[in-house]
């Protein structure tokens, strides 16, 4: 097991370096000159010759004229020490720019995942057990509808009813602007702002996972060993949970871990519509602003998350399914 994890980590390091080379070359090939961007404001104040001189000095200071390999190793060395350079847009270190949206995205998504799983798993199991009942059929109809409606429509509907029509919840933003009150009141205000996006996030993820759990459960319930378990005289609860559900868990776990990994990438559409400072929004906004240091850092982070996610999926197979031996 340890040997396997070690092997996988080596493999992850290899993939990560290949990806970093590719990304580095890609972002270096993009038009734009960071040196010129930095001294641009001084263009009017200086003589052309002086400006030219300053430009050359800045380029040399930034090391832009070195060969690609030298630049890459220098960049990699800094990156490993978590120094991603400066954000052009905010004129602050990238790491400080990325931190708050990352924290926010993780926080809201952990809630979304917990609420989502608490609804979808029991619902999926129940509809599979009561297959073709009226309840099951109506759930099927709702999940198909939920599946087919795009996120932004769902978001708009919820905004219209909860924020505009009934005025129960704030429309968007992270907190009320110029909020005056105690720290506890501010906290409550922030939480009120989170409720609506959280609902939309959960609702949009309900449909697919419910259907997935139902399908996996139905397959497990149709197996002969379920009849064996019933013939043994087990209670129906034991048949459903310890026999069927344990076997249905394997395909479901792949999906769930993939879903949990998406916690970190954020949801651009929802974040934009609710004007939330999350990872998805930061990523797209930085792309538009050509703030490539931020983009590169976020992208490397995504690569890392994807690699860790894959490792977790494989390891969890070994835990859930005795037939999978991960040490080979």
Q: How far is the CB of 325 from other proteins (least distance, A)?
A: 10
In this complex, which beta carbon is closest to other proteins, that of residue 247 or of residue 265? Answer: 247
Distance CA 187, CA 184 (A): 5
Q: How far is the CB of 243 from other proteins (least distance, A)?
A: 5
In this complex, which beta carbon is closest to other proteins, that of residue 17 or of residue 228? Answer: 228
Q: Please identify which residue in 223, 241, 275, 319 interacts with other proteins, judged by CB under 8 A.
A: 223
Residue with tokens 């978590």: 82
Distance CA 193, CA 169 (A): 7
Q: Please identify which residue in 225, 241, 275, 319 interacts with other proteins, judged by CB under 8 A.
A: 225
Which 235-264 residues touch other proteins, going by CB under 8 A? 235-236, 238, 243, 246-247
State the CB neighbour count (10 A cutoff) for residue 187. Answer: 12
Neighbour-count burial for 41-73, b at 16+ CB within 10 Å, e otherwise: eeeeeeeeeeeeebbeebbeeeeeeeeeeebbe
Residue 227 is a binding residue for other proteins (CB under 8 A): yes
Q: How far is the CB of 91 from other proteins (least distance, A)?
A: 56
C-alpha radius of gyration, the chain, whole number: 26
Judged by CB under 8 A, the number of residues near other proteins is 20
Distance CA 243, CA 246 (A): 6
Question: Could you give the angle at which helices 183-221 and 134-148 cross, rounded to 10 degrees?
Answer: 120
Query: Within the chain, what is the greatest distance between any pair of CA atoms?
Result: 94
Residue 323 is a binding residue for other proteins (CB under 8 A): yes
Residue 322 is a binding residue for other proteins (CB under 8 A): yes
Of 34-42, 225-233, 264-272, 290-298, the window that binds other proteins (rule: CB under 8 A) is 225-233
Of 166-174, 217-225, 268-276, 309-317, the window that binds other proteins (rule: CB under 8 A) is 217-225
**Which tokens is 288 given?**
């538009």
Binding interface with other proteins (CB under 8 A) = 223-225, 227-236, 238, 243, 246-247, 321-323
């Amino acid at each position: 097991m340890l040997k396997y994890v070690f092997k996988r980590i080596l493999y992850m390091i290899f993939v990560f370096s290949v990806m970093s080379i590719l990304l580095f070359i890609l972002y270096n090939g993009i038009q734009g000159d960071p040196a010129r961007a930095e001294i641009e404001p001084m263009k009017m104040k200086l003589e052309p010759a002086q400006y030219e001189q300053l430009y050359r000095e800045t380029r040399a200071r930034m090391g832009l004229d070195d060969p690609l390999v030298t630049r890459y190793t220098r960049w990699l060395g800094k990156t490993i020490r978590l120094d991603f350079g400066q954000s052009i847009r905010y004129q602050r270190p990238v790491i400080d720019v990325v931190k708050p949206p990352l924290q926010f995205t993780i926080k809201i998504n952990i809630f979304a995942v917990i609420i989502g799983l608490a609804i979808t798993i029991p619902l999926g199991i129940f509809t599979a057990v009561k297959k073709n009942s009226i309840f099951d059929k109506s759930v099927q109809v709702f999940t198909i509808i939920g599946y087919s409606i795009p996120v932004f429509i769902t978001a708009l509907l919820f905004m219209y009813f909860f924020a505009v029509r009934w005025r129960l919840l704030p429309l968007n933003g992270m907190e009320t602007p110029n909020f005056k009150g105690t720290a506890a009141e501010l906290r409550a205000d922030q939480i009120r702002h989170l409720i609506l996006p959280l609902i939309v996030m959960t609702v949009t993820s309900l449909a697919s996972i419910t259907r997935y759990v139902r399908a996996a459960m139905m397959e497990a319930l149709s197996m002969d060993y379920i009849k064996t378990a019933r013939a043994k005289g087990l209670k129906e609860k034991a048949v459903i949970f310890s026999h069927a559900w344990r076997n249905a868990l394997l395909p479901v776990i792949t999906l769930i871990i993939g879903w949990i990994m998406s916690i970190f990438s954020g949801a651009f559409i929802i974040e934009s519509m609710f004007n939330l400072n999350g990872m998805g929004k930061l990523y797209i906004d930085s792309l538009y602003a050509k703030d490539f240091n931020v983009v590169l850092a976020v992208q490397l982070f995504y690569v890392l998350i994807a690699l860790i996610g894959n490792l977790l999926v494989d390891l969890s197979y070994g835990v859930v399914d005795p037939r999978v031996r991960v040490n080979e």
